[in-house]
Amino acid sequence: MQESPEFAFARAHTAEHAFVGALQNLVGHTLSVVKVEHREMNNTAFIKTVPDMELGLIMQAQENVNQLIKTGRKIMSHTFSSLEEAKKHFPSLRANEERIVGPQQVTVIEIENHDLAACAKDHVTNLTECDFFLVTRVSNSGNITEIDFSVGLQAREVAKHTLQKLLNICNETGANINSVENTVKKIKNQNEKLLRDLKNYSRKSLDAIQPYSVEKNSITLYHGIFDDLMDSEIRAFADKKIANGKAVVIIANTHSAESNNNPESEPTATIVVAANESLKDIDCNRIVKEIVGRGGGKPHFATGLTKIDDTSNIVRSIVTLVKNKL
């Protein structure tokens, strides 16, 4: 069944009122809706964040909206000569006052025994017309909580595709619908432990590099080739060494296809070339571009990417070039 864009918009806007009203009732005080965006396949409400606005509460508000839709609530429209007059009649009125400047007519949309909001948009006449309400994403940006939602046929399509994705996750993890949350949490915890172990291993491996000293210039050169270390730890190691004195760092880190999460991809290596900023003869960006080929950066810090089979020759070439300049 095809619905008109106008009806879809009115239904979505009405559902948003019901949802914010439900969320407001749960947190116990008035919420401020900055704006609402309506699109073909989803909608987004931008709400000023409050401390109690957690995911569990948002899901409870979603459930409350669907209960209101099921039982049905009338939608009524009231017109006042000003926002001040509207607030005198409805003290709990929710309104975006920044958009209501000066004396002007204000329309208040009332959801029977549930919500009051100043709004000039079109709405349906009863919540039953919203059919089904579904929250699809929650994210926080600064002091704003963005909540994506779908309504009616739109929501049913999203629910169907989301369930298919959930079943795919169950299939990949060996879980079922009832146990998938605990399984994902377990995988997350295991992954965090492995990342901590890898970070520690990366640091120990890098700290074990035997430096090469150029005594006449008091310059230290650190270079090495490693397999599947954390790139972030290599960058941190390089930053630390070049910040603490006259040092040059040349490190290659090879990545297997499995570590790239793509068994069909070609194994590669990341090359980091860094130098203390006082070493003007060492232009890391130029070195990477001329010897590695892919990559670049700043004169004192650059990264490149190469085929894993070329790693040894490239590192050897960069080390030779740097030694000749020191």
**70-113 pLDDT tens trace:** 999 999 999 999 988 999 999 989 888 777 766 789 999 999 99
pLDDT of residue 118: 92
CB neighbour burial string for 150-182, b if at least 16 within 10 angstroms, e if fewer? bbbebbeebeeeeeeeeeeebeeeebeeeebee
pLDDT of residue 258: 54
CB neighbour burial string for 273-304, b if at least 16 within 10 angstroms, e if fewer? bbbbeebeebbbbebbbebbeebebeebbbbb
Q: Is 193 a residue whose pLDDT tops 70?
A: yes
pLDDT of residue 257: 57
pLDDT of residue 182: 95
pLDDT of residue 42: 87
Percent of the chain with pLDDT over 70: 95
pLDDT of residue 6: 86
Q: State the angle between helix axes of 180-207 and 231-243 in degrees (0 to 180), rounded to the nearest 10.
A: 30
Q: Is 7 a residue whose pLDDT tops 60?
A: yes
User: Are 157 and 44 spatial neighbours (Cβ–Cβ below 8 Å)?
Assistant: no
User: Are 53 and 145 spatial neighbours (Cβ–Cβ below 8 Å)?
Assistant: yes
Strands, E assignment, 228-309: 247-255, 268-275, 294-298, 301-307
Nearest CA-CA partner of 24 in 44, 3, 52: 52
Percent of the chain with pLDDT over 90: 75
Residue 222 contacts by C-beta under 8 Å, 6 or more apart in sequence?
Answer: 209, 211, 212, 241, 247, 248, 249, 250, 251
CB count within 10 Å of CB 39 equals 11
SS3 state at 118: strand
Q: In the chain, what are the domains?
A: 5-173 (3.30.980.10), 201-325 (3.10.310.40)
pLDDT of residue 261: 54
| Higher-pLDDT residue of 103, 132 | 132
Question: pLDDT tens, 211-259?
Answer: 988 766 788 999 999 999 999 999 999 999 999 888 999 999 998 755 5
pLDDT of residue 217: 73
CB count within 10 Å of CB 116 equals 22
**29, two tokens:** 């005080």
Q: Number of H helices and number of E strands within the chain? A: 8, 13
Paired with 76 in beta bridges are 110
245: left (phi > 0), else alpha (psi -120 to 50), else beta? left
> How confident is residue 200, by pLDDT bands cut at 50, 70 and 90?
very high
> How confident is residue 4, by pLDDT bands cut at 50, 70 and 90?
confident
**42, two tokens:** 């989803």
> How confident is residue 325, by pLDDT bands cut at 50, 70 and 90?
confident
Q: Given strand 219-227, what is the order of strands in its sheet? A: 212-214, 219-227, 247-255, 268-275, 301-307, 294-298
Mean pLDDT along residues 180-197: 96
Average model confidence (pLDDT) across the chain: 91
CA distance 124 to 136: 22
Angle at Cα 222 formed by Cα 257 and Cα 269, nearest 5°? 15
Q: Which residue has the tokens 């699109």?
A: 39
